Amino acid sequence: MKKPYDVLFDGVFSKIDPEKAHEQAFAAIRAGRFATAAWGRTLKPRPVSALGLEFPNVLGLAAGFDKNAVGIDALAGLGFGHIEIGTVTGEAQPGNPKPRLFRLLDDRAVVNRMGFNNDGAEVVGRRLAARAAARASKPGPVVGVNIGKTKVVPDDDIAAVIKDHEKSVDHLAPYADYLVVNVSSPNTPGLRNLQAVEKLAPLLEAVRKRADEVVTDRRVPLVVKIAPDLADDDVLAVADMAKAIGLDGITATNTTISREGLKASAARIETVGAGGLSGRPLTERSLEVLRLLKGRVGDDLTLIGVGGITTVADARARLDAGADLLQGYTAFIYEGPLWPRAIVRGVQRR
């Protein structure tokens, strides 16, 4: 028997353009339409210590859903212990031409080529400042801020790339519980070139230095998000670099450009075209990358597992492989507003 959300998704949402469906669903979440009785039993607190912070629970919402920090607390009300906003760039940008978001229903996957569409660091920073002032000392989710390169900034000009990221840090770090540098989206030309250690290390060191200059009353933890498409040796090189420069954590993994093993027809895949693939097809590789990282860094860095986590078994496997925190996005789309609490409850029962 199908769950009510499955009927709604199959009968309504799956028939709507994916980007429009996202906008409508997000508007409903912000309006509190999914908050009735917290969608089931209230989660018992099971705090998790990571990145020098205390998280309400182990599961967070990955960057990409709330790009502009407009629904943090509404999303947390569904059961997420942390919300990662962004990716935010130094300058506002519209992203890539539409259509740019696609479903592969048979694979429980999504392909996006959004292109870091967002309001820019200055506007998002003001929004975060207003939220902080309004909430004062009220408890809430941990808020991560994911930052990336503005599209027009050439990736081969590392000085310009650093300056662009420093602008984001200036506006966003004061309101971030932790920062993430995203060099792994496939939808900004040249961005993944920054994953090369010789470019990545100076960028992360500059972000670290600027964050320490901007926020003087605490240390803002810094994380890097990497792609599943890195070769194993490159994953290990990033791990070594992260330890060497004193990074706080690594998020594994972002979306993939691979289309191997999909159930979708070749014609459908060709029609969808380029973009980052997320969802069930990432499960195995993201788990492999996490294991590689854990074997290299041990307990020295916080590891955030993301990519293809759909079931409680997926979540437990990621934790068993060494993840300190988990994130989801695509499963939230396919499974609905009950999904975060189901995952957290399932993990906490262990």
CA-to-CA separations, 252 to 69, 180, 238, 271, in angstroms, rounded:
22, 12, 11, 28
Catalytic residue among 185, 258, 265, 286: 185
What local confidence, expressed as pLDDT, does residue 46 receive? 87
pTM of the model: 0.96
Q: Which of 38, 51, 62, 25 is nearest to 276 (CA)?
A: 62
- Of 23, 148, 139, 5, nearest to 81 by C-alpha is 139
Task: Cite the annotated binding site for substrate by residue number.
Answer: 67, 112-116, 182, 187, 254-255
pLDDT for position 40 = 44
Q: Which pLDDT score is estimated for 232?
A: 97
10-residue mean pLDDT profile of the chain (350 residues): values are 84 93 96 61 80 98 98 97 98 98 98 98 98 88 98 96 98 98 93 93 98 98 97 96 97 97 98 98 98 98 98 98 98 96 93
Cα 336 to Cα 350: distance, rounded to the nearest angstrom: 23
| pLDDT value of position 7 | 87
Which of 144, 169, 164, 145 lies closest to 153 in space, CA to CA?
164
> Interior CA angle at 334 toward 333 and 339, to 5°?
80
Residue numbers of the domain that contains 132: 4-348
Q: Does the annotation mark 286 as catalytic?
A: no
How much is the pLDDT for 78? 96
Annotated binding site for FMN: 63-67, 87, 146, 182, 225, 253, 279, 308, 329-330
Number of structural domains (the chain) is 1
CATH number of the domain that 51 lies in? 3.20.20.70
Residues of each annotated binding site:
63-67, 87, 112-116, 146, 182, 187, 225, 253-255, 279, 308, 329-330
